[in-house]
Structure formats: structure tokens, C-alpha cells
Amino acid sequence: MSRIGKKPVAIPADVSVAVSGQSLTVKGPAGELQLDAHPNMTLAEDAEAKCVTVSRPDDSRENRALHGLTRSLIQNMVDGVVKPFEKRLTIVGVGYNASLAGNKLSLQVGFANTVVLEVPDGVKCDVPAPTSVIVRSPDKQAVGQFAANVRRVRPPEPYKGKGIRYENEQVRRKAGKAFGSK
């Protein structure tokens, strides 16, 4: 059996879980999330032990893969409704900046026009400084996808390091033509 898949997901005291067939709803202080599990996976809630377990019908390759995946998705949902996930982005470059107006993130990153991205529902975006963007949500996938969409506008380039990068991302720098000519 999958080591991850057979481990039960513990439910904290301030989180409520509702299982109905293949559908799972998790409510907590930071929000509410819903998951429709694969038809092969069976979800079961144990009210006394305050946990959710995932089981699979057989040991086929697909079911083994889905077993651990489903359990990890449920664990991420429980963690997200307790403390939302966040990604921090840093904008590097002279004149590069970001601003937030309502649910629209405006990026000025060296193009002739301003790139405007709409913040999806369930995701909160903060701009504490013109060169810093923070993306938060209880949904881990939504945070990662929106942060990747923002980074894709102007990924960091290897010669000067300008662009949008994750906060702790290391950009490999190249020497350039001037260095190699001697």
C-alpha cells in the first residue's frame, strides 16, 4: 500500500469536514474548499478519531498513484483552511513595478504597455511595496497557478537578472559577450 495514501488525515478542532460519496467539503477559519475525488477512490470520515481516510479498490498502477494524490490533496485542503498558503514574488529591474486596483494587478515590467492580470476568485493579492507581490489563498493550486501566471509575464533573464521571480529563487547568471572577448 501507499505509505502516504494509507495515512489518515487528522482534522483540527476548528475545521469541519463533510463527506458525501466522492465529494468532500472542508470548512475552516480561512475559508471553504471542495474536492470531487476520482471515482475509484473511497473517502471515509471517522467522527470519533477526527480523521479522514482514503482507500483504493485494488493495486493497479493508476489506483496506487491516485491513492497518495487524493490523500495529499485532502491534507493540503485542511492545511489551507487553517493557515492560507502564500507565494511571494519580487520584481527586479529599473522602473519595474506593480500596483493593485480592486481585483486587477497591474505590472509595468519594461513593455510599452502595462500588463493587467485579473486576480481569480478565492485568491487575495497584496502589493506591500511596488517591487513585491504576495499571493494568498487556502487553495494551494490556485496560489501556485496565479503566481506562475504573474511570473510568466516577465521571467528573470540570465544576463542582468531583471524580471519577476519568486522571493527565494536563485537566477543563474551568464557572463555575456564583454566577458568572453578577452
Residues 93 and 74 in one domain: no
Opening angle at CA 73, ends 46 and 9, nearest 5: 30
- The stretches in the chain having pLDDT less than 50 are none
SS3 23: strand
The reported pLDDT for the residue numbered 178 is 72
Residue 127 lies in a domain: yes
Residue 62 lies in a domain: yes
- The strand order across the sheet containing 132-137 reads 124-129, 132-137, 85-92, 163-166
The reported pLDDT for the residue numbered 177 is 81
Please state the domain count of the chain. 2
Residues 48 and 98 in one domain: no
The reported pLDDT for the residue numbered 150 is 97
Structural domain span for residue 146: 85-166
SS3 120: coil
Query: What is the per-residue pLDDT across 90-130, written as a single tens digit (0 to 9) for each?
Result: 999 999 999 999 999 999 999 999 999 999 999 999 999 99
Question: What is the CATH classification number for the domain harbouring 27?
Answer: 3.90.930.12
